[in-house]
Structure 1
Amino acid sequence: MRNSNSWRKPVIIVGIALAVVLAAAGGVLLGNDYRFTQTAVQIPTPDGQLDGVLTMPRTDSPRGLVVMVHGDSAVDATQDGLYSPWFEGAADAGFATLSWSKPGVGGSTGDWLDQSMDDRAAEVSVAIDWALGQTGIPTERIILWGASQAGWVMPKVVATRDDIDGVVAAGTAINWLTQGRFNLLADLDHENATEAARAQAVAESDAVRGLLDRGASYEEYREITTDDPPMTAARWAFVARNMHADATADLRASAVREIPILLLIGEHDRNVDVDETERVYRDVFGSALSVRRVDSAHSLARPVVEDSALVGALIGTVWPRALLAPGVIDAYTDYLRAID
């Protein structure tokens, strides 16, 4: 899956500069005062450790734990602070949240680009088992929250465990290859590409897929690609390892658990064919599924946030709750409150 957090770095870089200016001017960033407490945690794994954060609600009787499963790219435990509205939404429903930096990010050991989707699912289970062994972490109810690429991870976890009580899927896809083609064509449409440019982009995409199908070397990819910048060798290996991912069978295996599923969909998602995702999820989960469509891009942020780094930076600095589309966090909190 292509990087669904492409807007994140410029937003943060510009946002930091703006925060410094506002702080120097004596501005009080009330929008960054959240209704939760947060502590750093270290989760031991067979390969080292994962550095994470545990967010707790400000209540004496927390009801359960949300376990965050990231999408693509090198994401840290808080996604540079952009997870805070999600943390707060869970806390308002009485849920703690556990999140960690991907392997190789921050203090987490390893390299997330060395992982398969099965590896990622195993990592999530390690984190859940760790939480179950800790005093003070409310694990009476365990909910998986996952974005984008997590759609190929969470069903594997649910299918192999009997202690998952719900799933929140945000902008998840079904098939890696068809998702990539959808993303390519949607971006070309968004850019008003000419027919010649479209034909060239599709032809190159087909050529790259052909190289991947026959296990070609990274050097062969570099000889034909016009990507600027091109994939790194590590990214090439990651894609080759995961390109045949398809969530359908794992979704069907997970449906046996009959737990409530919330699917959050952005109406302006150019990364994922959300109509396909909703169709498959409805077929698999039936009445266990709730779907909420919002006026957002793939990340569930307001479209203007993804289209303008400056606007995103201003909102992210002064009132980060407003980065996400209206209704997103309300739907999330309502879902958690309804969990028995």
Structure 2
Amino acid sequence: MHPQIRPRRRGLRTAVWSLVTTLVVAAALAGVVLWQHSYAMDEQRVSIRHGGHTLNAVLATPKDGRERHGLVVYVHGDGPVDATHDDGYKPLWEANAKAGYASLSWDKPGVAGAPGNWLGQSMDDRADEAAAAIAWARARPDIDGDRIGLWGASQAGWVLPKVAAKTPVSFVIAVSPAINWLRQGRYHLLAELRADGASASRTSAAIATSDTTRRLLERHATFEEYVQTMDGDADGMTADRWGFISKNYTADATQDLRALRGVPVLLALAGHDMNVDTADTERVYREVLDPGGALTAERYPDATHSFLKQSIERSDLKITFTALFMPRSLFADGFLDGQRQFLKDLGSGGVVRSR
């Protein structure tokens, strides 16, 4: 026998076992990913007619064998959001399902092939859309029309009370909702500047630019006038975005919130929110809703505006890893359980008290 044959065979066996080990580990990791992304609910694509258009929606229902369920209707925040928010809503839907509630959400107009353009909408348009979705849901035999409520984050703060003024809702879950468009914009600007360690001169320049933009909005300036005033530097602004801001910059939820008096409201506030002044939001909600005694305000110290844990949101690698292998762990501690418990208390007739 040639002296080199045995070592080569050993080397081949080593390579084969290394490959097998790699494949087993890869299969195990793939299994973990599939398991972690298998949620305790059923999902179906549905279509809702509204204003001559179709809302491309997802209805997620509990696997509890019941014929009828309450429903949580989702109202998105800002941006081109699809029905599942890139699957980010699914842990929340699962929490709803565990409490016996279905979830309904749809692609914003112009997103994921949906007709229309969400940047052409006012907050009233968005409220009309949600009211149409609720009317569609009430006509379904598997939905309990007396237990339909709203979930909304950030920009949805201007939409939620408008929906409640158009159609009865049983509850509202408001996640770091905004109150006043201009105040929120200024808060966000200053928070970002502080986080960047901006100098006094840079801060002054940014505030001056913001003030100029406000004056342009107040006199209903065109996008072309905006660009000209900014010396040709649109800084990411588009004509559609300028039109959207022009439609909505006067938004203020303070008066509209009166439509939620007496409605159980869970107000979730993030401890590290750079987009919304949560102290201002809580103050206004308490002033308007506390007399009805149906407000529950919960603060989540480790949450960012998106309600991810701050330690995770700071790292793209951590976000990717956690989203793949532990998607429910993306969210701030207690957020999913708090939402589930709020809904369970409603379903069991529990009293929601102001705190």
Superposition TM-score, scaled by structure 2 size:
0.86
Specify which of 256, 262, 265 is matched with residue 261 of structure 1: 265
CA 1:47–1:300 in 2, change beyond 3 Å: closer, same or farther?
Answer: same
Please tell me the residue identity of whatever aligns with 1:266: A
Contact 1:168 1:262 in 2 (8 A): yes
Unmatched 5+ residue regions in structure 1? 1-20
Which position in structure 1 is the counterpart of 2:214? 209
Contact 1:145 1:169 in 2 (8 A): yes
Please tell me the residue identity of whatever aligns with 1:335: F
Question: Is 1:313–2:320 an aligned residue pair?
Answer: yes
Aligned residue for 2:303, secondary structure, equals coil
Please tell me the residue identity of whatever aligns with 1:293: R
Contact 1:74 1:112 in 2 (8 A): yes
CA 1:136–1:23 in 2, change beyond 3 Å: closer, same or farther?
Answer: farther
Contact 2:312 2:319 in 1 (8 A): yes
CA 1:229–1:306 in 2, change beyond 3 Å: closer, same or farther?
Answer: farther
Specify which of 229, 236, 241 is matched with residue 235 of structure 1: 241
Please tell me the residue identity of whatever aligns with 1:75: V
CA 1:22–1:55 in 2, change beyond 3 Å: closer, same or farther?
Answer: farther
Which position in structure 1 is the counterpart of 2:275? 271
| Percentage of pairs with the same residue | 45
Which position in structure 1 is the counterpart of 2:134? 128
Question: Is 1:78–2:84 an aligned residue pair?
Answer: yes
Unmatched 5+ residue regions in structure 2? 1-21, 350-355
Provide the rounded CA distance (Å) in 1 between the counterparts of 2:190 and 2:24.
43
Cα distance per residue 1:21-50 (max 9 Å; x no partner): 999922221321211110111111123101
Cα distance per residue 1:228-252 (max 9 Å; x no partner): 7421100000000000000011002
Please tell me the residue identity of whatever aligns with 2:260: S
Which position in structure 2 is the counterpart of 1:188? 193
Provide the rounded CA distance (Å) in 1 between the counterparts of 2:280 and 2:114.
35
Aligned residue for 1:25, secondary structure, equals helix
Provide the rounded CA distance (Å) in 2 between the counterparts of 1:193 and 1:34.
44
Contact 1:222 1:230 in 2 (8 A): no
Aligned residue for 1:262, secondary structure, equals strand
Which position in structure 2 is the counterpart of 1:44? 49
Provide the rounded CA distance (Å) in 2 between the counterparts of 1:206 and 1:320.
40
Cα distance per residue 1:40-99 (max 9 Å; x no partner): 111111231010100001112254000000000010000000001110110000000011
Which position in structure 2 is the counterpart of 1:290? 296
- Looking at both structures, which has the greater relative contact order when contacts are Cα pairs under 8 Å and sequence separation is at least 6? 1
CA 1:222–1:325 in 2, change beyond 3 Å: closer, same or farther?
Answer: same
Q: CA RMSD in A?
A: 1.8
Please tell me the residue identity of whatever aligns with 1:269: D
Which position in structure 1 is the counterpart of 2:204? 199
CA 1:75–1:216 in 2, change beyond 3 Å: closer, same or farther?
Answer: same
Cα distance per residue 1:290-328 (max 9 Å; x no partner): 011112100111113332222211111111111111100
Provide the rounded CA distance (Å) in 1 between the counterparts of 2:220 and 2:165.
30
CA 1:48–1:184 in 2, change beyond 3 Å: closer, same or farther?
Answer: same
Provide the rounded CA distance (Å) in 2 between the counterparts of 1:271 and 1:201.
16
Q: How many residues end up aligned between the 2 structures?
A: 317
Superposition TM-score, scaled by structure 1 size:
0.89
Question: Is 1:331–2:338 an aligned residue pair?
Answer: yes
Contact 2:176 2:278 in 1 (8 A): yes
Provide the rounded CA distance (Å) in 1 between the counterparts of 2:56 and 2:325.
27
